[in-house]
Amino acid sequence: MRLLIISDIHGNLEALQAVLREAQGRYDRCFCLGDVVGYGADPQACAALVRDVAAVVIRGNHDRAFVAPESALDFNPIARLAVEWTHNQLDAATRAWLESLPAGPVLGDGIQLAHGSPLDEDEYITSTAQAAVLLAGAGEPLTCIGHTHLQGGWRMRGERTETVARNGALPLDPGQRYLLNPGSVGQPRDGDWRAAYMICDEGSAEFFRAAYDLAGAQGKILRAGLPPTLAERLAAGW
Ligand SMILES: [Fe+2]
């Protein structure tokens, strides 16, 4: 079973379509780790597409903002403005779907799926020390997380936790545990503007980047009256 793992689409339809185009025929099921909406200009279309294509979708903190508006109070001003704008773009059925999304962790085909971390959906896992704690307590060989918008991850070999290479296929050794982040489809923050995703099976995982119509996505953000910085950051990948 080949799995397409996507996360943090953030309403960027051009990026999502590019990923699905590029991955077409190379996966059997798709899992989404949350943040389908927020920031980008196409929340409604992205939600419809994810709903159609993904077998499992868990909620991210931006999706939750529609269920529990008080949870957006600690968002930065631009993120909060995007939440309010996005709220007005969604029809009732899409809002209901977002509200129905389960919080992680959720098990999908033996893989633990979480937005921030299995312990806290709002936690940003960025360090090897954080990864080591999670991997030491992991019940499954592979855990997939999103939220940081940073593609990559860690492996635990015995007592030792180390970062994994992002180039080429990463063999998944049954004797080791892995914590992998597919990166963000719609708003990468690792200096590479291209849409990030991951494809894995029982024996290996591989990270990919898909070029997309960046100018198209930026133009929609500007025409929608969303903060220009949301368009600018897409080009820089931050
Ligand atoms: Fe996100």
**Residues 148-178: pLDDT tens digits?**
999 999 999 999 999 999 988 999 999 999 9
223, containing H or E segment: helix 214-223
Q: What is d(CA 144, CA 111) in angstroms, rounded to the nearest whole number?
A: 7
Read out DSSP for 70-137?
Answer: GGGTTS-HHHHHHHHHHHHH--HHHHHHHHHPPPSPEEETTEEE-SS-SS-TT----SHHHHHHHHHH
Using one digit for the tens of pLDDT, what is the confidence trace for 19-73?
999 999 999 999 999 999 999 999 999 999 999 999 999 999 999 987 666 777 7
Expressed in angstroms and rounded, the spacing between residue 108 Cα and the centre of ligand 1 is 20
Tokens of 214: 């960046």
Residue 6 confidence (pLDDT) above 80: yes
Strands 177-181 and 142-144: parallel
* 68 vs 122 pLDDT, higher one: 122
Residues with a beta carbon under 5 angstroms from ion ligand 1: 8, 35
Q: Which residues 6+ apart lie within 8 Å of 223 measured at CB?
A: 41
Residue 206: strand, helix, or coil: strand
Write down the pLDDT at residue 87. 87
Q: Domains along the chain? A: 3-236 (3.60.21.10)
Helix 13-23 and helix 214-223: axis angle, to 10°?
150
Residue 4 pLDDT: 98
CA distance 75 to 59: 16
| Entry field: residues in the chain | 238
**pLDDT-based confidence at 78, cuts 50/70/90?**
confident
Counting Cα atoms < 13 Å in the Cβ hemisphere of 57 gives 24
CA of 37 to the centre of ligand 1 (A): 9
Task: Supply the pLDDT for residue 65.
Answer: 86
How many whole angstroms from 6 Cα to the centroid of ligand 1? 11
Structure-token match 């185009």, residue found:
21
Q: Is 139 helix (H, G, I), strand (E, B) or coil?
A: coil
Overall average pLDDT of the 203-218 stretch: 98
CA 233 – CA 238 distance, rounded (Å): 6
Confidence label for 228 from pLDDT (cuts 50, 70 and 90): very high
- If you measure from the C-alpha of residue 186 to the centroid of ligand 1, how many angstroms do you get, rounded to a whole number? 9
How remote is the CA of residue 183 from the centroid of ligand 1, in Å?
A: 10
Interval between CA 182 and ligand 1 midpoint (Å):
12
Pair of tokens at residue 154: 């860690």
With contact defined as beta carbons under 8 Å apart, do 22 and 208 qualify? Answer: yes
Q: Cβ–Cβ contacts within 10 Å for residue 192, how many?
A: 15
State whether residue 161 is helix, strand or coil: strand
Ligand 1 centre distance from Cα of residue 85 (Å): 16
